[in-house]
Structure formats: C-alpha cells, structure tokens
Amino acid sequence: MSDVSLLSRNIITLLDKCKSLHSLKQLHALFFTFNLSQHDPFLSKFFSFTALSHPAHIDYSCKILLHLQNPSIFNWNTVIRGYSNSKNPNKSISLFVKMLRLGLSPDYLTYPFVIKASARLLKRELAVAIHAHTAKTGYESDRFIANSLIHLYASCGDIIYARKLFDGMPLKNLVSWNSMLDGYAKCGEMNLARQVFDLMPEKDVVSWSSLIDGYVKSGDYKEAMAIFEEMRGVGPKANEVTMVSVLCACAHLGALDQGRMMHQYMVDNGLPLNLVLQTSLVDMYAKCGAIKEALSVFRGVKLDRSDVLMWNAMIGGLAVHGLVKESLELFKEMQIVGITPDEITFLCLLSACAHGGFVTEAWYFFDCLGKYGMTPKSEHYACVVDVLSRAGRVAEAYNFVCQMPMEPTASMLGALLTGCMNHGKLDLAEIVGKKLIELEPDHDGRYIGLSNVYAISKRWDDARTMREAMELRGVKKYPGCSFVEMFGTLHRFIAHDKTHPSSEKIYMMLNFIAGQMKLNVDHEIREHFMYDMTGIV
C-alpha cells in the first residue's frame, strides 16, 4: 500500500470519528497539507459525511465542492442530494444550474435528486423545466426518472399530466403504480386513487399506506380505518408511515379503544416506537381524552434537544383538557432542559391561555415570538383573538383584528362572533357576522350565525332574511353528526336522521353509555332519550 493511500485511509478513519465542525475543518486542513485535495476516496467520504450524514455542515460541503478543480459527478450528486433533503431544497436547484453552467453533464442519478427538490418547492414551471431537460439529455425514458416525474407533477397539483406520463410508460413497475396512487391521494382524488389501487398487479406497504393516508387527509377517517383492517387481513405488515396515519384517524374520531389496539399492534409486531410514532401516540391519547396515558407515553420517552414536536403535542394535549397551569409548567420544563420552542409551541401555549382565560400570559407568549426571531402568523393572531373574545374583551379583540398586518381569516372572525354572542355584544356581533358572510358566502354556518344574532335581538324579520338569503344562494345546511365508540366499533349518529338504527342497537348503546357513567337508566328515560336522538321510538 502506498504512503498516500495509507495516509488517506487514516484520515478517513478520523473522519468517521469526527463530531464537530471544528474537528472537520482540522481534517480538511490536514488533507490539503498532504496534497490529498484530489484524492477521490477521501473526497467521496468527505462529501457523504458533510452533505448526508451531518446535514448541518452541508453549506461548508458546498463551498469545498465549488473550490475544487475537477470534482466528480458523484461528488456533485452527493451535495445536490443533501440539499434536496434539507430545509433549503432551492439550493439543490441552484447547484444543479451551477453545474450546467460549468459545462458538466448530469447523469441518471442527478435528476432524481433535482426532481425531489422541485417536488418539495411545489412549482409547476420548475417541474416543466426539469422535465424538458431530462427529455433533451435522453433520460426521460429512464423508468426511475419517469416515476420521479410522475411524483413531481402530482406534488405540483398537475395530476392530469402525471397520469399522462403514467399511461405513456411502456413498462410500469410497482414504484410507477405507487407514484400514481400517491399522486391521486395527495390531490384528494380518492375515487381515482382507489381505482388505481384496485388495478395494481401487486401491492406493498407503500401502496396501502398511501391509500390510508389519502383518506385521512381527505377527512374520511372511518374509511381509513376500514382500509387498515383490510390490510391487516390480506396485506403486508404496517410500517411507521401506516401507523402515523392510522393513529391520526383514531385521534380525529376519538376512537380510544381502537387507538389502544393500534398501540398494542405496534408492540406485538415489533414496530420500533421511534419519536414520530411516540408523538403520534401522545397526540392520539390526548385527543381521545386519555390524558394520563398521553403523559405516560411522554414521560417514557428519552427526550433530547430535537424533540420539540413531542413537547408541543403534550403541551397542546394538556391545554385541551383544561390542565392549563400544567401546560404552562411543562413549557418551563421544556426551557430548562434546553429545547428551543418553535411556532407550533407558541400556538399551543396561546391555545392554553384561551382555555384558561389567561390574557396577560397570552400577550407575553405572543411577544415571545419576536424574541425568538419568529414572525407571528395568522394562526397566532387568531389565538389572541380567541383569548380576548373568551375573556369578554371583544372590543379589544375587534381593534386587534383591525390593526393586524394581514386580512382577518374566517376562524378569527368566528371566534370573535362567538365571544360577542356569549357576552351580549350584539351590535358588534352583527358587524362581525356580516364580514364573515362576505368572506365565506357559501358557508352555511355564517348565515346561521348571523341569523342567531338577530334572533337573540328579537329581530325576527332580519333572522328570516338570512334564512331566505341561504335559499336564494343555494347554500344548504348540513346536519351535524357524532361518533360513539362502543366495544371497539364506531357508530355514527346524524341529527334528525330518519334512517335510525334498530331499537335493539339503541338500547345496547344506552346500556353501554349508562354502564360507562355508572348510571341506572330506567325504561322511561331511555324512551325519551331515543326520541331525542331519532325523532321516533
């Protein structure tokens, strides 16, 4: 072995043990000192280390790349790949353009990384430009690149062109089908996603997970759970992505028993409970009302300084359960252990203040956003409006809305309208109600809200006018519904539904509810209860 190779091997060994940017720079100086700047094994290891294994050093990696005389295409690809996974995917595109301007030719590995970065940026014009370049260089027919292009167009919302590419592929593999299925699911076209799923010659865990996630994102949580049950019977074992979607569905349905079964399913199947899954479990238990179980999962996790999502889920969960002081105390604990809060943290804290009526604390947290270098978003402003409205300071809330640097959202005005009605400020409620109808003229609740304001004021003609305005505009009032979980099964009840369940099912439901509440409900009370639910006994 030559002296150069031995030295390079020793430096690479040191690189594997490198822990900080300071140490990395020392090694960098060392390999320049011994004239190893063009020694490819070291360079490949160096760029893999800085761009992929330690993404915090990727900017340093890019500087080194641009100062080398003749870096290989592999080294360019490594840094482009690193940026495609980073918080700044646009830098991946910039580096690709720099590569072209230097007269270098991308290879078949370059384009998937550039396409991935483009998909994250959600710019269709960029997608078209990258696609044109693959066609010009002859790589468009590469099946892996074609699959990436399908994903790119679907991510940019152009599902029609994505389908055109898919249909034009002479040979499709499982990735091709999954890309098309995921594209439809991401665009909310669940009927078409299901059609693709049913036509697939083979399915893997990605196929099932994409379909389940699509139903979750479109709000059809019960169907998502039904697909998961089908997967358990005939499909592969679920992975982390599957279970995150399933737990999200359980959380939105309030299906605690099913959520517990999902937790046990992960344990029984040896699925590693990583941070993402543990955060999903905390969120699910909190939203399903089992705050003690949420805390148990939270306290059982070995947290470090990157676990802000877990802390956010727990802070928000405590707030929703009315444990506002505990929520604020947990934020103090979070600061003590050295975790930096993000925008979601302050959103959870402001929500906690709204539940507890803590106006002073809400202003403090709102001001803290600036201290941490964050600009308040519309959601933060909405929380402050909610805090003030719940506390009865509706005039202050209205002035706050008028002075915001952005136009008020419907959620802000909705919170303000509720506050005005709860605290008898009907004149201001009328102003806010009219603004809501201007913002969302096709939303049934906006007309009904203003109609209720007029009804409380005994302005019956104006209340009737609102109802007539709904009819003239063709706005329909959709009935409310509730889900009740009994023995692990979800039952859906719709207001004034004439297609009611059988009397036996209702009796069983009432017996279950009475048992849970430890009540002795006699026959007469049950009959009245059934009449309220269905309109008939």
Kindly write down the DSSP assignment for every residue of 402-423, as one continuous string. Answer: HTSSSPPPHHHHHHHHHHHHHT
* pLDDT: which is higher, 111 or 524: 111
Q: Is 172 exposed, middle or buried (0-12, 13-18, 19+ CB in 10 A)?
A: middle
- Identify the band that residue 60 occupies on the pLDDT scale cut at 50, 70 and 90: confident
**Crossing angle, helix 159-168 and helix 174-186, to 10 degrees?**
170
Q: Which of 83-87, 192-196, 413-417 has the highest mean predicted lDDT (pLDDT)?
A: 192-196
pLDDT at 17: 64
- Is residue 483 pLDDT above 60, yes or no? no
| Residue from 376, 309, 312 nearest 349 by CA | 312
pLDDT at 491: 54
- Identify the band that residue 529 occupies on the pLDDT scale cut at 50, 70 and 90: very low
Question: Could you report the per-residue pLDDT of 155-187, keeping only the tens digit for each?
Answer: 888 999 999 999 999 889 999 999 999 999 999
Chain mean pLDDT for the chain: 83
The pair of three-digit structure tokens given for residue 140, joined into one six-digit string: 């468009």
**d(C-alpha 233, C-alpha 211), whole Å:** 16
pLDDT at 435: 85
- Identify the band that residue 245 occupies on the pLDDT scale cut at 50, 70 and 90: very high
- Is residue 519 pLDDT above 90, yes or no? no
Average pLDDT of 308-325?
91
Q: Is 58 exposed, middle or buried (0-12, 13-18, 19+ CB in 10 A)?
A: buried
**Crossing angle, helix 124-136 and helix 110-121, to 10 degrees?**
160
pLDDT at 422: 85
* pLDDT: which is higher, 243 or 41: 243
| Residue from 64, 79, 137, 144 nearest 105 by CA | 137
Instruction: For 173-205, give one letter per residue: b (16+ CB within 10 A) or e.
Output: eebbbbbbbbbbbbbebbebbbebbeebeebeb
DSSP letter at 102?
A: T
- Is residue 135 pLDDT above 80, yes or no? yes
- Is residue 32 pLDDT above 70, yes or no? no
Beta bridge partners of 489: 486
Q: Are 77 and 113 in contact (CB under 8 A)?
A: yes
pLDDT at 163: 95
Counting every residue written for the chain, the total comes to 537
Question: Could you report the per-residue pLDDT of 209-241, keeping only the tens digit for each?
Answer: 999 999 999 999 999 999 999 999 997 999 999
* pLDDT: which is higher, 265 or 492: 265
Instruction: For 303-341, give one letter per residue: b (16+ CB within 10 A) or e.
Output: beeebbbbbbbbbbbbbbbebbebbbebbeebeeeebeb
pLDDT at 184: 95
Average pLDDT of 70-78?
90
* pLDDT: which is higher, 345 or 475: 345
**d(C-alpha 468, C-alpha 269), whole Å:** 57
Average pLDDT of 69-91?
91
Dihedral angle at the C-alpha atoms of 480, 486, 491, 497, nearest 10 degrees?
-60
- Identify the band that residue 70 occupies on the pLDDT scale cut at 50, 70 and 90: confident
pLDDT at 456: 82
pLDDT at 477: 62
- Is residue 18 pLDDT above 80, yes or no? no
Average pLDDT of 490-504?
54
Average pLDDT of 337-352?
91
- Is residue 402 pLDDT above 70, yes or no? yes
- Is residue 530 pLDDT above 50, yes or no? no
pLDDT at 524: 45
Q: Are 340 and 306 in contact (CB under 8 A)?
A: no
* pLDDT: which is higher, 215 or 34: 215
Beta bridge partners of 482: 493
| Residue from 143, 139, 149 nearest 108 by CA | 139
Q: What angle do CA 150, 154, 155 make, to 5 degrees?
A: 115
- Is residue 62 pLDDT above 50, yes or no? yes
Question: Which region holds residue 326: left if phi is over 0, alpha if psi is between -120 and 50, else beta?
Answer: alpha
pLDDT at 509: 57
| Residue from 247, 250, 181, 186 nearest 214 by CA | 186
Beta strand 481-486 pairing with 489-494: antiparallel
Listed in sequence order, the residues at least 6 apart from 30 whose beta carbon sits closer than 8 Å to its beta carbon are 11
